[in-house]
Amino acid sequence: MPKHIAILGAGPGGYVAAIRAAQLGARVTVIEQQALGGVCLNWGCIPSKALLSVIELGDKLKKAEDLGLLLSGPPRYDLARMVARKNKVVASLVKGIATLFNAWKIDVVDGRGRLVDARTIAVTAKDGSQRQVQADAILIATGSSWPQLAQFPVDGKTIITSKQALDLESAPPRMIILGAGVEGCECSSLFSGLGTQVTMVELQSAVLPLEDEEVSVLMARELKKRGVDVRTGTTIQEAQVRDGLVVAQLKDGSTVEAEMLLVSIGRGFQSRDIGVEAAGIALGKRGEILVDDRMETNVPGVYAIGDVVGKAMLAHVASAQGKVAVENIMGHPTAIRYDVIPAGIFTLPEVGRVGLTERQAREQAQAAGHDPEQAVKVGRFRYAALGKAQATGDITGLFKVIADAVTGRLLGAHIVGAHAADLIHEAALAIEQGATVSQISHMIHAHPTLAEGFVEAVEDVEGCAIHQMKKKS
C-alpha cells in the first residue's frame, strides 16, 4: 500500500510538494482553508506582478514618442480593469493547480487543519463539521501572515496591508508606505505609477536594506525619479486616523498625512493554533518551526517547509523545500542549499540577485584572516553600454558581480534593470557549479542581448570588458 502523506497548506510549498509526492508514488491529502496556491498566487507574487506589468507597459508608452511611436496622449490607467484582469489571471492559475491535483489523484480537504498528534490532523470545515486525516507522514506548509501591529490597527480601508492594496479599484491621492523592503518598494513602484503621491518610511538607512549597497542606492534614485518621497533612517512613532486621513508622526519630528497607510513591515509565522504543541514540535525564538536540512522537525515523520520555518521566505524556496521534504519521506535522501538562491524584486526597474553582496564577501574574507580589499574583486557593467538596451530604450541599470580574487570563483551577482529577475539565473547556475570568472568569460553570448551585460561585468573583474573604459591603475 502506498505511503500516505498529509500536507497542511496548499501554497507554493504545499502544492508543489503534493505533486512531487504523487509523482514518487505516495497517496496525498492536502488540507487548505483558503485557496490553492496560497498567499503567493492569490494575494502576493502573481497579483502584484500582474498589476506592475501594466505600469511597466505604461512607462514604455510614456517614452513612445522618443522611440518614434505616435500616440494620441499619455497613457491612462483603469485600476478597476487592471484588478479584474489580475483576478482572471489568478483564477486561471488556481484552476491549473486543481487540474494537476486531479491528474495526480491528490485529495483536497477544505477546512482549517490542526495536528492532534504526529500522525493525525483534525480538520474543521467552514460549516463547522469535523473530520480527521491520518497519515504516515505530515508536512506543515502553513506559511506566514500579514503584519498585525497594535500601533497600526489594520481596518482594510485607511490602514491596509498589501492584501487589501492589491484589490483597490481606485488609487488614493496620497499613500504612506511603512517599510522599504521588497514589498514596500514594489508597492511604491505600483502606486506612484498610478499617480499616487507616495511617502515611503524606512527605519534602516537605505531602501532595500538587505540588498547590495549599490543596488540600494540605485533603487532609491529611481524611486525618487518616480516621485516617491523616500525617508530613511526614521519610522512612524504614532499614526492616527482623523476625518478619513492618516496623520503619521515620524521619529525625525516631521508629520505626514495621507488617505492610506500601507503597513509593509514583517510577517508572522503561521505556527500558532495548528497543534504544534500537541505534536511536540519545537519552535524557535521567533515562532518558526525548527527543521534540519532534510526539512524534518524534531518529531520523526513530521516535516515543515516554506515561510513557517523562517529560512529564506521566498515562494520558490518553499517549492524547493517541498520537493526536498517529500523526497526524504519517500526514501530519496536529499538536502537543500541556501547559499545559491536567486531572487527577483519586481520594482521598476527590476532587481535580480544571487549569492553574496560585496559587503558580505569582504566580511567573510576578513573573518577568514584575509585582507578584505585584496581578497575580493568586483566587476560592473552599465545597461547603457549595451546595444540591446539602447535599441529598446531600457538603458537604466547595472550588472555587478563579486568574485574571489584568488580562485576566481563567482561569489555573488546583482542586476538592476529590465528583465533582471530573469537574467540572474545564469549567475545562479555559475555559482552553483563553482564557475570561475575565466570560465564564464569564455562562454559566448548572443548579440544583441541584455545577457551580454553579465559577461561584460564578469570580464570587468579583470579589467577586460570590451565595452568598458580602461580601469585606472
Q: Tens digit of pLDDT for each residue in 33-74?
A: 999 999 999 999 999 999 999 999 999 999 999 999 999 888
Share of the chain above pLDDT 90, in %: 95
- Rounded to an integer, what distance in angstroms lies between the CA atom of residue 141 and that of residue 10? 7
The DSSP bridge pattern shows strands 410-416 and 398-404 to be antiparallel
Q: Is 280 marked as a binding-site residue? A: no
Residue 361 CB coordination number (10 Å): 23
Share of the chain above pLDDT 70, in %: 100
Q: Is 62 marked as a binding-site residue? A: no
- Rounded to an integer, what distance in angstroms lies between the CA atom of residue 31 and that of residue 116? 14
Residues 235/201, Cβ–Cβ less than 8 Å = yes
pLDDT of residue 473: 61
The residue annotated as part of the active site, out of 370, 419, 442, 447, is 447
For the stretch 80-114, pLDDT in tens is: 999 999 999 999 999 999 999 999 999 999 999 99
Structural domains in the chain plus CATH codes: 4-146+269-329 (3.50.50.60), 159-263 (3.50.50.60), 349-460 (3.30.390.30)
Q: Is 202 marked as a binding-site residue? A: yes
Average pLDDT over residues 230-247: 95
For the entire predicted model, the pTM comes to 0.95
pLDDT of residue 148: 82
Q: Is 456 marked as a binding-site residue? A: no
Q: How far apart are the first and last CA of the chain?
A: 70
Q: Is 186 marked as a binding-site residue? A: yes
The reply to whether 414 belongs to the active site is no
pLDDT of residue 161: 96
Residues 176/262, Cβ–Cβ less than 8 Å = yes
